[in-house]
Amino acid sequence: FSVLVAMGIDPNSAAKVLEEVQTPRRRQQILGSLNGTSIMVDIALHPTELKALREVFESSKQRVLLVFQPHRYSRYKLLFKDFVEELSLWSDVVITEIYPSDEPLEDTSSYPLYEEIGSRNKFFYSDKEKLFQDLPDIMSGYDIVLFAGLGSIGNWAEEFYTENSTKKLVN
């Protein structure tokens, strides 16, 4: 998608063409478009994967809102500084709570990550319902909303797109 847009292809035309291409599920997967904003999902869960995504989207000159869900408490703790460093390079970021996977629940929150990142526009959501309520307003003016992470965030992206594809979102 990003390569096509960087080549000068209209984003809506690029999205339409790529709907026919079979790509690995949840790797820059385009779910569709809501009022001209592409809704995408990627399983990026490591700072290095987030960096690769950022570099692709920077080259396309598109305005991207990253909705990131950290995956596993152990990874979050181990790579906290790396996450802060990488996510600070994204200008627009939504941080959600950590998806624990099969790890026991800990008294750990991703809120400190939200506090530490230096992004220009940053948001924190501890629950999906509030995010879904606010996201249509937040996403106004973005070319892409990119849901990233390996946990429930992929299902959230699909649910958000499905719920809103039948509504007329006001920009």
pLDDT digits (tens, 9 = 90+) for 66-109: 999 999 989 999 999 999 999 999 999 999 999 988 877 777 89
Residue 170: inside a domain, yes or no? no
How does the average pLDDT of the chain come out, rounded? 87
What are 45-57's pLDDT values in tens digits? 899 999 999 998 9
Closest CA to 119 of 94, 149, 147: 94
Closest CA to 119 of 150, 149, 85: 85
Residue 75: inside a domain, yes or no? yes
Residue 123: inside a domain, yes or no? yes
CATH of the domain at 60: 3.90.190.20
Compute the CA torsion angle 125, 171, 166, 44 (nearest 10 deg): -40
Instruction: Give the pLDDT of residue 171.
Output: 46
- What is the count of structural domains for the chain? 1
DSSP code of 71? B
Domain with 97 in it: 24-165
Residue 63: inside a domain, yes or no? yes
Residue 141: inside a domain, yes or no? yes
Task: Say yes or no to pLDDT of 137 above 70.
Answer: yes
